[in-house]
Amino acid sequence: MATATLSPVDTDKLSNLKSAVASLNQISENEKSGFINLVGRYLSGEAQHVEWSKIQTPTDEIVVPYDNLAPLSEDPAETKKLLDKLVVLKLNGGLGTTMGCTGPKSVIEVRNGLTFLDLIVKQIEALNAKYGCTVPLLLMNSFNTHDDTLKIVEKYANSNIEIHTFNQSQYPRLVTEDFSPLPCKGNSGKDGWYPPGHGDVFPALVNSGKLDALLAKGKEYVFVANSDNLGAIVDLKILNHLIQNKNEYCMEVTPKTLADVKGGTLISYEGKVQLLEIAQVPDEHVNEFKSIEKFKIFNTNNLWVNLNAIKRLVEADALKMEIIPNPKEVDVVKVLQLETAAGAAIKFFDRAIGVNVPRSRFLPVKATSDLLLVQSDLYTLTDEGYVIRNPARSNPSNPTIELGPEFKKVANFLGRFKSIPSIIELDSLKVTGDVWFGSGVTLKGKVTVAAKSGVKLEIPDGAVIANKDINGPEDI
């Protein structure tokens, strides 16, 4: 515990908090001690400040270029051996609220009536069928997504894939004013609690008993990824490299574009590889951090981790990831959530590396503008559930798409497009106002569509719009 460096005031705060938390019967003893531990570390101010002059660019040994990975054996029996050591874990704690959905984000339809979860299941089923292996799927839910997910996975009961669900921890929100748990203030509903970020995946795996069960079946590595990243598919070359080189942890990074300047990056620091997040960067270096010249890569949150190493580090309480304070308001009460991120754990594992992967392994759907990309002719869907980019597009980067608030919710977005436009030759699209798209529309180059206030602007069926600003029907 970090109490050794606490001021007398903070020691009192922590001890009062501890007795308050002891009375919360909604959570386990593991959750209580994990929470108190996190708050103790936060109060002791152990935030690590990075000394800018010590930062070094990682070498190709530490961040391995994807093309340097050894080719795979052609022998299917060798591939089966690799896959038999693997577990796939999707972070499934997020709700689709930002896109106007209720329930887990992973059940938003992506393409052809299939959800994120349908595609993930299809992919693993195809691997298991092809190689005769048993790769299980684990879903880490939060208390927000747990009940819905249990109902949803019932539909996969007859598939050739084992699906396990477990919950990440549930911690009480802290009332900023007096540092008491919000549920003790009478707010005992869901608003009183929060899931403490995906850094919790490691203790949650151990506490749920899932880790020991996987080790007992001979599993060695877990591939962890966000459930909304359509590019996060099993990559045997990476798995093979980790097993050959005894790397306990691998973070997939990919080259930064201007859209990713805030993403965390890998650095060499005091002889270790570690994740540098924008929150840790001194103000005077933020622009340097955002530049694509010095920090060329960012974290995709596709992580490969050795299961035995997770067990060793969790049991030793050695995973002290940077704490991310997240202030919120619940019914005008100011509260604090303390969270951690799984990527920050990289520095605690032996022989940890990054792999600089192609951009195709990072295809997250965070907003309806991303949904437009993956539903368009820019991508196709294979029978195995893989979303593949259309080779007909010559530009290696995707078009930038900005949709106004009228398109923010999935239902509104789908209602405003009779069909998703063809965007193979599109560079950028910006849409504002009350705009509706007909079917079979083609967009090319730079297109801006801005409906005047109070005016409904309809793009007719079959329209081809290239390098144009459209403010009314007369511009089409």
What's phi and psi for 169, nearest 5 deg?
Answer: -65, 160
Distance separating alpha carbons of residues 336 and 258, to the nearest angstrom: 31
Instruction: List every span in the chain annotated with CATH 2.160.10.10.
Output: 368-475
**Residue 104 DSSP class:** B
Residue 458 and residue 476 in contact, taking contact as beta carbons nearer than 8 Å: no
Please list the pLDDT of the chain residue by residue as tens digits (476 residues).
344 578 999 999 999 999 999 999 999 999 999 999 999 999 988 756 788 999 999 999 999 999 999 999 999 999 999 999 999 999 999 999 889 988 899 999 999 999 999 999 999 999 999 999 999 999 999 999 999 999 999 999 999 999 999 999 999 999 999 999 999 887 678 899 999 999 999 999 999 999 999 999 999 999 999 999 999 999 999 999 999 999 999 999 999 988 888 899 999 998 899 999 988 888 899 999 998 888 999 999 999 999 999 999 999 999 999 998 999 999 889 999 999 999 999 999 999 999 999 999 999 999 999 999 999 999 999 999 999 999 999 998 899 999 999 999 999 999 999 999 999 999 999 999 999 999 999 999 999 999 999 999 999 999 999 999 999 888 88
Per CATH, the architecture of 8-361 is what? Alpha-Beta Complex (3.90)
The verdict on whether residue 366 carries a ligand-binding annotation is yes
CATH topology of domain 368-475: UDP N-Acetylglucosamine Acyltransferase; domain 1 (2.160.10)
The verdict on whether residue 198 carries a ligand-binding annotation is yes
Cα distances (Å, whole numbers) of residue 131 to 103, 326, 397, 459:
34, 44, 33, 48
Instruction: List every span in the chain annotated with CATH 3.90.550.10.
Output: 8-361
Distance separating alpha carbons of residues 329 and 357, to the nearest angstrom: 39
The verdict on whether residue 375 carries a ligand-binding annotation is no
List strand residue ranges (DSSP E) for 307-408, in order.
Answer: 324-330, 333-339, 353-356, 379-381, 387-389, 400-403
The verdict on whether residue 197 carries a ligand-binding annotation is yes
Distance separating alpha carbons of residues 107 and 116, to the nearest angstrom: 6
Q: Which two tokens stand for residue 190?
A: 């869901």
The verdict on whether residue 49 carries a ligand-binding annotation is no
pLDDT digits (tens, 9 = 90+) for 352-405: 999 999 999 999 999 999 999 999 999 999 999 999 999 999 998 899 999 999
Taking residue 247's Cβ as centre, other Cβ atoms within 10 Å add up to 22
Annotate 148-172 with DSSP letters as a single string. HHHHHHGGGTTSSS-EEEEEPP-EE
Chain CA centroid to CA 259, Å: 16
Amino acid at position 195, single letter: P
What's phi and psi for 118, nearest 5 deg?
Answer: -55, -45
Closest alpha carbon to 423 in 373, 381, 468: 373
SS3 (DSSP) at 99: helix
Question: What's the whole-model pTM score?
Answer: 0.95
The verdict on whether residue 274 carries a ligand-binding annotation is no
Establish how many alpha carbons lie within 13 A of residue 149's alpha carbon, considering only the half-sphere containing its beta carbon: 27
pLDDT digits (tens, 9 = 90+) for 238-254: 999 999 999 999 999 99
